[in-house]
Amino acid sequence: MALPTAPKSPEIRARISAATKAAMPSQEVRARISQRTKEGMAAASGAMDESRLLRTAWRAARPSVRKRFLDELFAPACGEASE
C-alpha cells in the first residue's frame, strides 16, 4: 500500500528528477542489467521445472529405491565403496 505524499512544487520535482537521472547508470548499462535479469529469470524458471520433476520422481519411487539412491549418493562422502 502506497503512503500518501504531499504534492511537490515543480522546482522540487525537477531537482528530484535530476538527482535520480544522475544516480542512474547509463542506458547501455541498464539494458545489460535488464537482459541479464531476464536470462536469470528464465534460468530459474527452468530450474524450478527440473526441481518439480525430481520431486515427482522421488515421491513415485519405492522407499527401498530411495534408500539405495541415498546410500550410493553419500557413499563417497562416508568413505564407502559404491556398487
* Residue 21 placed within a domain: no
Rounded Cα distance, 56 and 50, in Å? 10
* Residue 69 placed within a domain: yes
* Residue 74 placed within a domain: yes
Q: pLDDT by residue (tens digit) across 1-59?
A: 566 677 788 999 999 888 888 888 888 888 999 999 999 988 888 888 888 999 999 99
User: What pLDDT, on a 0 to 100 scale, did the predictor assign at position 23?
Assistant: 86
pTM over 0.85: no
Which structural domain range is residue 64 located in? 26-78
Higher pLDDT among residues 6 and 60, named by residue: 60
Q: Is the pLDDT score of 82 beyond 60?
A: no
Amino acid at 31: A
Total structural domains within the chain:
1
Separation in Å, CA 10 to CA 6, 16, 29, 30, 80: 13, 10, 29, 27, 74
User: What pLDDT, on a 0 to 100 scale, did the predictor assign at position 69?
Assistant: 95
Residues 72 and 83: beta-carbon distance below 8 Å:
yes
